[in-house]
Amino acid sequence: MQKLAHPFRGKLAAVDKVAKTITVGKSVYHITSETKIKKGDKPAILEDGVIGEPVSGYAKPMEGGKMLASSVNFGPKWENAGTKKSPKK
């Protein structure tokens, strides 16, 4: 079965700095030099991920059936997303 590109969201279960992967729930996402990593809307690195904290991003299939994380956002970004859109009167 072909895996499709998809957004992901959940709690960070594991960070493997050697294999360059993150685990969200039961899904493993590979990190490459092309992956855009942010934490609090600022550029971040894989080591900035904290186990148990919220993580979200977008993944696409790569060779061998593995999933590549094209973007990763460490921290509770989606909880604050609505506050930027509502203008103050």
The structural domains of the chain, ordered by start, are 6-79 (2.40.50.320)
Look at residue 76 in the predicted model and tell me its pLDDT.
Answer: 82
Q: Which residues partner with 39 through β-bridges? A: 42, 74
Look at residue 43 in the predicted model and tell me its pLDDT.
Answer: 96
> What Å distances lie between residue 77 and 3, 55, 62, CA to CA?
26, 8, 26
pLDDT in tens, 47-89: 999 999 999 999 999 988 899 999 999 998 544 444 444 444 4
Q: Which two tokens stand for residue 11?
A: 């709690």
What is the pTM for the complete model shown? 0.82
